[in-house]
Copies of this chain bind each other. A is one copy, B any other.
C-alpha cells in the first residue's frame, strides 16, 4: 500500500523545506513544484498563474471572479478556480495511487481522505509570525510590503481557499495526524519526527 505524507503549512513556516528533506531521507519523491508543472501541462495555464491561484483564494472579489470566466467541462461550465481544482484533484489522486511520496500543500490531505489503497500521514507545519517573517525575508527577499502583511494576506487567502473547497477550517489540529511548530522546535527536529513516524508507523 502506498504511503503518502501530506504537508499543509503556513506560509514561511519552512513546510516545503521540511517536505523535501523528509522525502530525500526516505528516498521517495516530493511533489511541490512538480505538481505545478503537472497541472500546467494538463490545464494549459502558466505555472505562475497556477502557483498563485491553485492554492489561494484570488485577490479581489471571489464571487465576481467566480462568474467572470467559464470553461466548458463534461458537466457544464466551470470558472478557472474550479477547473484548476478538478485537475489538481485528479493529479493528486493519480500520484497517490502510483507511488509513496510527500505532497506539499494543495489540500492533498482532504483530497486523499477517502482514498482507499493509500495510507496517509497528515502533517501541518506552523510557526509564529516573528519566525516566519524572518524566514520569508531570508528566503524570498524584501519587498515593498512588510513581511507581516505578506504573511497575513497569504494565510488569509490560503485559509479561504481551503475552507471553500474542503468545508473545513485550516490549521485546526484535529484535521491532522500531527501538527508541528517549526519555529519553536526547529526544522531538523520536525524532519526527524516525521521521518521516524513514517518508518515506524506506516
Q: Which residues of A contact B (CB under 8 A)?
A: 10, 124, 126, 128, 171-174, 176-181, 184-186, 189, 192-193, 196-197, 200-201
- Cβ of B177 and Cβ of A176 under 8 Å apart? no
Interface centre among A172, A174, A193 (most CB of B within 10 A): A174
13 contacts between A and B (CB under 8 A): A10-B174, A124-B173, A173-B176, A176-B179, A176-B181, A178-B179, A178-B180, A185-B201, A189-B197, A189-B201, A192-B200, A193-B193, A193-B197
- Nearest chain B CB to A16 CB, angstrom units: 17
User: Measured between alpha carbons, how far is A170 from B10 in the docked complex, in Å?
Assistant: 19
The contact of A173 among B172, B196, B201, by CB within 8 Å, is: B172
- Cβ of B184 and Cβ of A177 under 8 Å apart? yes
